[in-house]
């Protein structure tokens, strides 16, 4: 055993860097949460980036914790997993022979702590389509403490509009299933609908049908269902404050 070769992921430079090419942003798997938070171009694309990422663990963990580690840690409440599911990201995986494959990030987590990665593969990077001017993104997290805590439930989503019609939707919620949950049915329902209170309520009913939270130290399953609903509504209240408020969307 003493002669086994070590391959330190942290010294693999192919896993570093944040690049913007045409309409895609690609982030290396070794990138830390702090490096994302400090990237000027990402700050421009997501004006609330620092506010979002301050909710992720603590400064020490953000300085050390990488995207690859967060994804392979495979927690159903992994903040960066939810963040990138909400961005409609894809991941590129590379094997020891340098063969690469790319898949939708929503297909990566298979079951509790199980993911689509062979023994000779590592995650190289994650990429997402750069949001256009009619695309809106938001991240929400509820935990027992506001800071320095893992989520009870977290959620992220991007939505694109043409006038008031939803042309694209990618919402994800953590802490409500065995995996970080990409809300495929909810997202499919939203596309082509008018952005109205009735649409949001109907989508939330579908969201409830595709989640399966369990009771644990972070809350009962009923509480997590309530949080999933509140955070889904919170996206719309945060992104479209003149159209949606607590009073007209309802929060109970
Ligand atoms: C005190 C504390 C608080 C935390 N709070 C939060 C929180 O609020 N929110 C949250 O989301 N997370 C939280 N975390 C988890 C943290 O953000 C990281 O996800 C976690 O520490 C793993 O990241 P790492 O880079 O240290 O990975 P490592 O521990 O180095 O790796 C984890 C696993 O991933 C594998 N791995 C790493 N990179 C790759 C790759 N590129 N390809 C394939 N496999 C890879 C490693 O081999 C290992 O098996 C917390 C952790 C701690 C210790």
Residues 144, 226, single domain; the answer is yes
Give 79's contacts (C-beta < 8 A, 6+ positions apart): 55, 56, 57, 70, 141, 151, 154, 174
Whether the predicted pLDDT of 148 surpasses 70: no
* C-alpha–C-alpha distance, residues 101 and 245, integer Å: 43
SS3 content of the chain, % helix, strand, coil (to 5): 35, 25, 35
pLDDT of residue 201: 97
Q: Is the pTM of this model over 0.85?
A: yes
pLDDT of residue 4: 74
| Largest distance between two CA atoms of the chain | 65
Strand partners, 171: 157
CATH number, domain at 33? 3.30.465.10
Residues 71, 146, single domain; the answer is no
Lowest average pLDDT, out of 25-39, 153-167, 213-227, goes to 213-227
pLDDT of residue 65: 95
| Residue-range definition of the domain harbouring residue 75 | 17-129
250 within domain boundaries: no
Residue 251: which pLDDT band, with cuts at 50, 70 and 90? Answer: low
Which atom of ligand 1 has the smallest separation from the CA of 69?
27
- CB of 249 within 6 A of ligand 1: the answer is no
9 within domain boundaries: no
Question: Tens of pLDDT along 221-233?
Answer: 999 999 999 999 9
* Residue from 15, 72, 83, 152 to probe ligand 1 pocket by mutation (most atoms less than 8 Å from CB): 72
Give 115's contacts (C-beta < 8 A, 6+ positions apart): 71, 72, 74, 108, 109
pLDDT of residue 206: 98
Under 8 Å between Cβ of 149 and 143:
yes
User: Minimal CA–CA distance to 137: which of 166, 171, 107, 167?
Assistant: 171
Mean pLDDT of 171-189: 98
* C-alpha–C-alpha distance, residues 166 and 189, integer Å: 10
6 within domain boundaries: no
Residue 3: which pLDDT band, with cuts at 50, 70 and 90? Answer: confident
| Closest CA to ligand 1's atom 50 | 57
Residues 95, 199, single domain; the answer is no
Which atom of ligand 1 has the smallest separation from the CA of 81?
11
Question: Which among 106, 129, 152 is the end of a domain?
Answer: 129
Residues 229, 163, single domain; the answer is yes
- CB of 166 within 6 A of ligand 1: the answer is no
Residues 70, 119, single domain; the answer is yes
CATH number, domain at 232? 3.30.390.50
24 within domain boundaries: yes
Question: Which among 129, 145, 163 is the end of a domain?
Answer: 129
Give 124's contacts (C-beta < 8 A, 6+ positions apart): 14, 15, 28, 29, 91, 92, 93, 94, 100
Q: How far is the CA of 34 from the centre of ligand 1 (A)?
A: 13
Which atom of ligand 1 has the smallest separation from the CA of 143?
8
Mean pLDDT of 135-147: 87
Question: Tens of pLDDT along 53-101?
Answer: 999 989 999 999 999 999 999 999 999 999 999 999 999 999 999 999 9
* C-alpha–C-alpha distance, residues 228 and 252, integer Å: 12
Residues 169, 94, single domain; the answer is no
10 within domain boundaries: no
Residues 143, 162, single domain; the answer is yes
Give 128's contacts (C-beta < 8 A, 6+ positions apart): 24, 25, 84, 87, 88, 89, 90
Residues 31, 109, single domain; the answer is yes
Residues 40, 116, single domain; the answer is yes
Whether the predicted pLDDT of 252 surpasses 60: no
* C-alpha–C-alpha distance, residues 166 and 164, integer Å: 7
* C-alpha–C-alpha distance, residues 87 and 209, integer Å: 22
Which atom of ligand 1 has the smallest separation from the CA of 70?
19
Computed over every residue of the chain, the mean pLDDT equals 94
Q: In the chain, pLDDT over 70 holds for what percent of residues?
A: 97
Residues 122, 178, single domain; the answer is no
Question: Tens of pLDDT along 10-25?
Answer: 889 889 999 999 999 9
* Residue from 32, 64, 69 to probe ligand 1 pocket by mutation (most atoms less than 8 Å from CB): 69
Count of structural domains within the chain? 2
Whether the predicted pLDDT of 1 surpasses 70: no
Residues 196, 120, single domain; the answer is no
Work out the angle at residue 213's Cα, subtended by the Cα atoms of residues 48 and 155, and round it to the nearest 5 degrees: 10
* C-alpha–C-alpha distance, residues 210 and 171, integer Å: 12
Question: Which among 88, 104, 129 is the end of a domain?
Answer: 129
* C-alpha–C-alpha distance, residues 225 and 246, integer Å: 18
246 within domain boundaries: no
Residues 81, 150, single domain; the answer is no
251 within domain boundaries: no
Whether the predicted pLDDT of 35 surpasses 80: yes
């Amino acid at each position: 055993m003493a002669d086994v070769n070590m391959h330190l992921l942290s010294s693999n430079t192919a896993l570093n860097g944040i690049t913007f090419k045409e309409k895609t942003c690609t982030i290396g798997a070794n990138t830390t949460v702090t490096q994302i938070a400090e990237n000027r171009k990402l700050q421009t694309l997501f004006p609330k980036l620092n506010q979002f990422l301050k909710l992720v663990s603590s400064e020490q963990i953000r300085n050390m914790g990488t995207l690859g580690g967060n994804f392979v840690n495979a927690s159903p409440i992994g903040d960066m997993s939810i963040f990138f599911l909400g961005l409609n990201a894809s991941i590129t995986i590379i094997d020891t022979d340098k063969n690469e494959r790319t898949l939708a990030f929503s297909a990566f987590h298979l079951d509790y702590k199980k993911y689509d990665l062979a023994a000779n593969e590592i995650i190289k990077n994650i990429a997402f389509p750069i949001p256009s001017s009619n695309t809106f993104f938001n991240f929400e997290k509820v935990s027992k403490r506001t800071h320095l805590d893992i989520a009870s439930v977290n959620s992220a989503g991007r939505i694109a509009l043409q006038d008031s019609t939803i042309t694209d939707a990618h919402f994800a919620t953590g802490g409500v299933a065995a995996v970080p949950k990409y809300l495929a049915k909810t997202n499919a329902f939203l596309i082509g609908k008018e952005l109205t209170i009735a649409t949001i309520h109907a989508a939330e009913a579908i969201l409830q049908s595709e989640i399966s939270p369990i009771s644990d130290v972070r809350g009962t399953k009923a509480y997590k269902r309530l949080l999933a609903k509140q955070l889904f509504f919170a996206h719309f209240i945060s992104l479209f404050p003149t159209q949606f408020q607590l009073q007209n969307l309802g929060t109970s």
